[in-house]
Amino acid sequence: MIHYLKAAPTTWVMQFKGSALKREGAGLSFFYWAPTTTLVQVPLASADVPFAFTEATADFQTVTIQGQLTFRVAEPKKLAALLDYSVTSSGGWRTDDPQKVPERLVHTAQVLTRAVTQRYTLKEALTSSEALVAQVLAGLKATAAVQMLGLEVLSLSVLSVRPTPEMARALEAEAREALQRKSDEAIHERRKAAVEQERRIKESELQTEVMVEEQRRHIQETKLAADIHLEKEREQLVALWAANEKTSADAQAYALEAKLTPVKALDWKVLTALSAAGMDPAASIAVAFRELAENAQRIGELNVSPDLLRSLLPSSAPRK
């Protein structure tokens, strides 16, 4: 029976006749004699393999790691030499060996993931997905199993790292309490800053008041010093005026004393006689009455006429 094969460009085809390799290559098209021909088809396209691991962390907590692994066949002849990729006349795999490649990659990735996860605590594992990817991917590319199969690991991505529901609730509560504490601390710091600002404002106001009081005191002291200086000048002026008045009074007293000194030695009668020429009659009568009073012991009887007394009274006095 003659069959025709047309392979896709992403399929590596190997044609064996008996045990001899007749042709190989990607995307071949040819006719072959089915009874004596064995066809091997190795897919070269990249494949995505999802995975989910449940591992334990360094603090004995369980985490579930979900992700995806992408690989391709770099050396199809090496892979075909280790696993059976022969196909039937209808195009299906003769064995289940092709399905073993993703399983082996996932198992290798799980071993490497477990080695990395066991070095992390739960909190570190939940927040270190990038470091986990970098270490596992480097380990996969360098592992002997991958190189021996002729595979190339293109990428590794970790979609999620989840703890158990109970631990997730506990971590959420802890994180919530931590955030609440930070919020309370922020409120406290804001209030503290407000109080500090208020204190600075009060201090500034007090300093301003102190400066105003000092300025006011300085002005008062200046005024007081000016008043004291003015009072001292007034005191000097009063002292000078008093000295001048005293000097003037002393001069007047001296002049008066100089005028009265010659008169002191004279008898008052002589003075009266000297001034009688221009003396008022009432004054003359008064002098006469004084002389009578001095010689009252010698007078036996004294008669004073009404007319004389009337002449001594003021002219405005009423008459009877």
Q: Which of the four pLDDT bands, split at 50, 70 and 90, describes residue 277?
A: low
For the record, the structure tokens of 191 come out as: 């209030």
For the record, the structure tokens of 43 come out as: 């897919």
- The arrangement of strands across the sheet holding 151-163 comes to 47-56, 62-73, 151-163
**CB-CB contact of 128 with 134 (8 Å):** no
- Tell me the domain boundaries of the chain: 2-170, 178-259
For the record, the structure tokens of 154 come out as: 């293109």
Which residue did the predictor score with more confidence, 319 or 96? 96
Tell me the whole-structure pTM to 2 decimals: 0.56
Query: Is 22 in a helix, a strand, or coil?
Result: strand
Integer Rg of the chain from CA:
71
How far is Cα 29 from Cα 37, in angstroms, rounded to an integer? 14
Averaged pLDDT for residues 260-289: 62
For the record, the structure tokens of 156 come out as: 């590794």
The CATH architecture assigned to 2-170 reads 2-Layer Sandwich (3.30)
- The arrangement of strands across the sheet holding 86-87 comes to 20-26, 11-17, 37-43, 86-87
Q: Tell me 74's DSSP state.
A: S
Residue 40 pLDDT: 93
How far is Cα 16 from Cα 22, in angstroms, rounded to an integer? 6
Within a 13 Å sphere around the CA of 266, how many CA atoms are in the beta-carbon half? Answer: 12
Q: In sequence order, which residues have a C-beta less than 8 Å from that of residue 8 and are 6 or more positions away?
A: 27
Residue 257 pLDDT: 78
Evaluate if residue 104 carries a pLDDT over 60.
Answer: yes
How far is Cα 143 from Cα 48, in angstroms, rounded to an integer? 19
Q: How many residues does the chain have?
A: 320
Query: Is 263 in a helix, a strand, or coil?
Result: helix
